[in-house]
Amino acid sequence: MTRTPIFYGWVQVGVTVIAGAFTSGAGFWAFTVFVTPMGDDLGWSRPELYGAMTVRALGNAALAPFMGPLQDSRLGPRVFAVGTAVTMAMSMILMKWVDDLLLFYAVFGLLGSLANFGSSEMMLSVVLPRWFVRQRGRALGIGSMGTALGPLMFPFIVTGLLAVFDWRDAWVALGVITLVVLGPVSLLVRSRPEDVGLTPDGDPAGAMPRTPVANAPSDHDFTRSEAVRLQAFWLIVFAASLTTLGTNGFHANWLPFFQDEGFSAAEGSLAATVYGICSLTTRIFWGWGAERVSLRHLMALQSALTALSVLAFLLIDSRLVLVLAAAFNGLALGGVFIMRPMIVATYFGRGHLGALNGLMRPFMTAASAFSPLLVAWIFDARGSYDLVFWLLGGCWLLAALTVLLARQPRRLGSHTPAVATG
């Protein structure tokens, strides 16, 4: 088979899909299946078990500003990808010998936090935007499907393992699967097409990217020290943090909310599955649209639609409305996974994406960690999720308004100051 230059870019997309499935599936959704057997055997409470996820998030947030710039080097992404496969697998295999809560936090929390730096987040935010410019939207749309496959696949895989092994050996089996699949795939990662004598999108050298004027790529690779002096950068950080705040606590409390409304666990699981399928299938369409219309305006539309989908949950009064609300949320929310990394690459160039995303991640991670606690606190205080949904919907509306203000900066030459356009 003749391999065209663009073939190598789509290899990176394939790696992203597989990495995303394991990052979300083995790294998060599998853990939720282990909670009950581990709690019953070790006598640990749910807050104690989920505390490891908080440790994992905080460890990742603390290291991100230092790890991010390393992803901009020629070998950095491949080293991080291989390191992720090893550390993710080891954080699972070592669970066999965990019998102390602090050891559990060290293994699954601290060691597991290292597994995030070469995961699908790096591929979507750093690697794919370098390999694609003209086709960036569709590449990110397909690549982001991996994170949606995780919740559809791994709960069933872990349930099957637990039917054969006890929870300790099931962790080992999952770790071995992760290492065997993700390890070799990680060796295919390449930082940028120029490192292997190619160009973005497989276009001939010197070809002008055929993108709409509104989405023309930056003519300057902004460094981190330059970007932090731009209003657009902080507006994007704020909008991204708002969307994270409006997502994690919302989904973490779905099943309790459904049960409070009188729906069975099976009906709640059906709604979650419908959400996952809709989120998965809509991503390529959001990516296709992001290549053709103003990215800033499309991102604002996506945030506004997501706000409406959150408020739609206040109208649930039957199984049909429950499923429709979940589908609406999946269709609207799927776009955020493409457009957030796309707007950073479009606005600030391809040269320092690791450093820029490393600076953004602590803010997003803090919002992610705080969101479930905020939702739980409001529910305990009021005994209802109504105010929660209004506030979370408000986060998405505020994100829509914020991103509208984030006009693309321009720097036409090394001595010309950055200015806003659009």
User: What is the Cα–Cα distance from 231 to 11, expressed in whole angstroms?
Assistant: 35
Label residue 411 by pLDDT band (50, 70, 90). low
Share of the chain above pLDDT 70, in %: 91
pLDDT digits (tens, 9 = 90+) for 305-362: 999 999 999 998 899 999 999 999 999 998 898 999 999 999 999 999 999 999 999 9
Tokens of 258: 């459904």
Question: pTM here?
Answer: 0.85
User: What is the Cα–Cα distance from 28 to 30, expressed in whole angstroms?
Assistant: 6
pLDDT digits (tens, 9 = 90+) for 140-165: 999 999 988 887 888 889 989 999 99
pLDDT digits (tens, 9 = 90+) for 205-249: 555 555 554 567 776 889 999 999 999 999 999 999 999 988 877
Domain layout of the chain by residue ranges: 5-192, 213-420
CATH number of the structural domain 5-192:
1.20.1250.20
Fold designation for 213-420:
Growth Hormone; Chain: A; (1.20.1250)
Asked if pLDDT for residue 171 goes beyond 60, the answer is: yes
Share of the chain above pLDDT 90, in %: 50
Tokens of 415: 């001595």
56: closest CA among 3, 129, 109, 2? Answer: 109
Asked if pLDDT for residue 420 goes beyond 60, the answer is: no
pLDDT digits (tens, 9 = 90+) for 352-400: 999 999 999 999 988 887 777 777 788 778 877 888 889 999 999 999 9
Asked if pLDDT for residue 198 goes beyond 90, the answer is: no
Label residue 405 by pLDDT band (50, 70, 90). very high
Mean pLDDT in residue range 89-99: 96
User: DSSP label at 27?
Assistant: I
Number of helices (H), then strands (E), in the chain: 20, 2
b/e sequence 18-47, b meaning 16+ C-beta within 10 Å: bbbbbbbbbbbbbbebbeeebeeeeebeee
Tell me if domain 5-192 and domain 213-420 are identical in fold: yes
For 353, 358, 384, the CA distances from 391, given in Å and listed in that order, are 32, 28, 13
Using the Cα atoms of residue 20, residue 26, residue 27 and residue 29 in order, give the sign of their dihedral.
Answer: positive
User: What is the Cα–Cα distance from 385 to 376, expressed in whole angstroms?
Assistant: 9
Q: Which residues contact 3 (CB under 8 A, 6 or more apart)?
A: none
